[in-house]
C-alpha cells in the first residue's frame, strides 16, 4: 500500500478511545461533532467514548457556558495489564501536545 494520505487504512495502532483522547488534548474546547469527524466515527460514538474516558478518570469535563472544556489527567496509569505500569504522560506525550501546524 502506498503512503497516500487520501486512503484510509483498515486498521491502526491506536484505538478510537486513544484517538478521541488525542483530539481532546490538542483542542480541549472541541465539540463532540468535531471530534467525531476528525476520528472518523459517529457523534454518538464520540459521546460514548468521552463518557468512558471521564468515568475512568482520564478526562474531566468542565462546563463553560453551554460548552464543555476538557482536561486530561496525564498522570493516570494505562488500563491494560500489558501497559499498566506506564502513565498516560509517558506513552502519549508526543501525541497529547497541541497541534500548532494547523493554527494560524
CB 45 within 8 A of CB 16: yes
b/e 5-16 (16+ beta carbons within 10 angstroms → b): eeeeeeeeeeeb
Between the CA of residue 60 and those of 14, 56, 78, what are the distances in Å?
A: 21, 10, 16
- The per-residue pLDDT string of the chain (104 residues; one tens digit each, 9 = 90 and over) reads 455 656 677 888 999 999 999 999 999 999 999 999 999 999 999 999 999 999 999 999 999 999 999 999 999 999 999 999 999 999 888 887 765 554 44
Segment holding 62, helix H or strand E? strand 59-64
Q: What is the model's pTM?
A: 0.81
* 64 three-class SS: strand
Amino acid at each position: 500500500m502506498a503512503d497516500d494520505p487520501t486512503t484510509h487504512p483498515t486498521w491502526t495502532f491506536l484505538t478510537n478511545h486513544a484517538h478521541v483522547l488525542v483530539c481532546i488534548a490538542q483542542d480541549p474546547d472541541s465539540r463532540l461533532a468535531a471530534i467525531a469527524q476528525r476520528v472518523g466515527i459517529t457523534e454518538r460514538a464520540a459521546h460514548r467514548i468521552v463518557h468512558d474516558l471521564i468515568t475512568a478518570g482520564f478526562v474531566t469535563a468542565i462546563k463553560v457556558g453551554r460548552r464543555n472544556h476538557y482536561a486530561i489527567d496525564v498522570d493516570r496509569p494505562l488500563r491494560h495489564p500489558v501497559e499498566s505500569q506506564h502513565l498516560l504522560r509517558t506513552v502519549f506525550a508526543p501525541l497529547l501536545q497541541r497541534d500548532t501546524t494547523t493554527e494560524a
